[in-house]
Amino acid sequence: MIAWLGLGSNLGEPVAQVRDAITRLASVDGLEVVEVSGLYRTPPWGDEDQADFINAVVRIETLLAPLPLLTLLQTIENEMGRQRTDRRWGPRLIDIDLLLYGSQQFHSENLEIPHPRMHERAFVLLPICELDKTINIPGHGKAEQLLKRLDCSGIFRLDKDEIH
């Protein structure tokens, strides 16, 4: 199954954190990293009193069902030192969100697919559109059309010099 993941970090060395998460994903049996977007510097969303984020999107192919995939993503976050707090949308060492799982819609106590706010977030849709402008966000429409409705100011794709 093709799935899409959103990665973000704004603590420590965010570029290194996102790259480390991608490397960890690529080393998992039953999961293949198919394509990785560029890295984007983005202003914080929701809770604006914090440092800018580094964000990326990864397209994977996986044999894992949605809930085991979510568990894997949370395990990687925990292994990387993610501390969960009550501060919603607060600073984080690493965040790995399951955005899409094929064209499926899935709702459980712990997981909602598509990610419930991805269609409102330019920092998610911009890197998705870099990889596939025609992708459909179930229940919302094409990523490219959704992105046109959003404010992309303050979001910048990092140059190769800024990534190293």
pTM recorded for the entire structure:
0.93
Residue 104, pLDDT score: 94
Q: Is residue 45 within 8 Å of 121, Cβ to Cβ? A: yes
Active-site residue list? 82, 92, 95, 97
Residue 87, pLDDT score: 60
Q: What is the pLDDT of residues 98-110, one digit of tens each?
A: 999 999 999 999 9
Residue 163, pLDDT score: 63
CATH number of 2-163, picked from 3.30.565.10, 1.10.1200.10, 3.30.70.560, 1.10.3720.10: 3.30.70.560
Q: Omega of the bond prior to 114 within 30 degrees of 0, cis?
A: yes
In this structure, the number of other CB atoms found within 10 A of the CB of residue 48 comes to: 8
Q: Classify residue 108 by burial, with Cβ atoms within 10 Å: 0-12, 13-18, 19+.
A: exposed
Residue 100, pLDDT score: 97
Residue 81, pLDDT score: 86
Distance CA 148, CA 122 (A): 9
Residue 48, pLDDT score: 75
Q: What is the DSSP string of the chain?
A: -EEEEEEEE-SSSHHHHHHHHHHHHHTSTTEEEEEEPPPEEE--SS--SSPPEEEEEEEEEESS-HHHHHHHHHHHHHHTT----S-TT---S-EEEEEEETT--EE-SS-EES-TTGGG-HHHHHHHHHH-TT-EETTTEEHHHHHHTS--TT-EEPPHHHH-
Cα atoms in the Cβ-side hemisphere of radius 13 Å centred on 108: 8
**Mean pLDDT, the chain cut into blocks of 10 residues (164 residues total):** 97 95 95 97 83 96 96 95 70 93 93 94 96 95 96 90 61
Q: What is the pLDDT of residues 137-164, one digit of tens each?
A: 999 999 999 999 999 999 999 987 666 5
